[in-house]
Amino acid sequence: MKLHRLLLPSLYSPPILTLFLVLVLLLSPSPTSSAPGDAASFLREACQRASRGDPNLTYGFCLSSLAPGSEQASSIHDLVLVSIDHAVSNTTKIRSRIKTLLKGGVFAKDPYVEACLKDCLELYSGAKLDLQWAVRFLKEKDYGSANVELSAVMDASVTCEDGFGEREGKVSPLTAENRVFFQLSSICLALVTMLP
Ligand SMILES: *[C@@H]1O[C@H](CO)[C@@H](O)[C@H](O)[C@H]1NC(C)=O
Ligand SMILES: *[C@@H]1O[C@H](CO)[C@@H](O)[C@H](O)[C@H]1NC(C)=O
């Protein structure tokens, strides 16, 4: 009671009242704030299904890599496009990483590793083109052809990594990048196989 009496007068003074109303408006759920929640649960379900059907893909990686960018996604088709987007931007990052390694001259005295790096650069350029083709096929709802493109994309990281391993004593400087890209492309492929 005492508290009530203390609060009431100050609550009705205009600045406090305004602040109070602003807070109420900020804290009350608006109709649009339910959409991200729906997208989030849609993403969780999709990642559960995708990782269950694909031994190369973990649920956690699927969720954490697709969360940014999928806020508006409401179908598997949307999610595939988001996953392809992530993979495309990763090819760009990996290619610039490879170029930096080549320019740095660290491998200039190691022609084998240098040649492998150049192969990887081509593989990732090809992967980027394949991803762009996959987008075109998806827009035409030609899911079979999109699947073929995305399978080829997945091979890029494996072929790149294997190149270094074919010569004894050689260590791949791209193991981390190849691993991430393998997972990113696994997501694309797992999702595309969920399309009708
Ligand atoms: C998992 O990865 C292996 C190795 O690259 C590949 O041969 C296989 O097809 C992949 N599985 C699926 C379901 O994509
Ligand atoms: C993309 O590629 C870089 C390597 O160049 C890697 O470090 C990074 O974690 C990747 N990130 C995502 C989410 O694409």
Alpha-carbon gap, residue 181 to 177, rounded angstroms: 6
- The pLDDT assigned to 104 comes to 87
Compute and round to an integer the Cα radius of gyration of the chain.
Answer: 25
| pLDDT over 60 (residue 25) | no
Choose among 162, 152, 88, 92: nearest CA to 121. Answer: 92
How far is the centre of ligand 1, averaged over its atoms, from the C-alpha of 64 (Å)? 21
- The pLDDT assigned to 134 comes to 98
| pLDDT over 60 (residue 1) | no
Confidence of residue 9 (pLDDT cuts 50, 70, 90): very low
Characterise 69 by phi-psi region: left (phi > 0), alpha (psi -120 to 50), beta (else): left
Are the C-beta atoms of residues 118 and 164 closer than 8 Å to each other? no
Q: Which ligand lies nearest to the CA atom of residue 150 in the structure? A: 1
Alpha-carbon gap, residue 180 to 90, rounded angstroms: 9
* 38-52, 111-125, 172-186: range with lowest mean pLDDT: 38-52
Coil vs helix vs strand at 173: coil
Are the C-beta atoms of residues 78 and 66 closer than 8 Å to each other? no
Residue closest by Cα to atom 9 of ligand 1: 151
Residues with CB under 6 A from ligand 2: 65, 86, 90, 93-94, 97, 177, 180, 184
Kindly write down the DSSP assignment for every residue of 99-121, as one continuous string: HHHHHHTTTTT-HHHHHHHHHHH
Q: At 56, list the tokens.
A: 């190369």
Residue closest by Cα to atom 13 of ligand 2: 65
How far is the centre of ligand 2, averaged over its atoms, from the C-alpha of 86 (Å)? 9
Question: What is the percentage of the chain residues whose pLDDT exceeds 70?
Answer: 81
Terminal Cα distance for the chain, rounded: 64
Alpha-carbon gap, residue 80 to 187, rounded angstroms: 8
Alpha-carbon gap, residue 63 to 49, rounded angstroms: 12
Q: Which ligand lies nearest to the CA atom of residue 69 in the structure? A: 2
| pLDDT over 60 (residue 171) | yes
- The pLDDT assigned to 184 comes to 97
The response to whether residue 145 sits with its C-beta less than 6 Å from ligand 1 reads: no
Residue 86 alpha carbon, nearest atom of ligand 2: 14
Domains of the chain: residue spans and CATH: 36-192 (1.20.140.40)
Residue closest by Cα to atom 1 of ligand 1: 56
Residue 177 alpha carbon, nearest atom of ligand 2: 4
Which CA distances in Å does 26 have to 23, 129, 144?
A: 5, 45, 47
| pLDDT over 60 (residue 3) | no
Instruction: Average the pLDDT over 148-157 and give the result.
Output: 96
pTM: 0.79
Alpha-carbon gap, residue 69 to 39, rounded angstroms: 11
Phi, psi of 62 (to 5 degrees): -55, -50
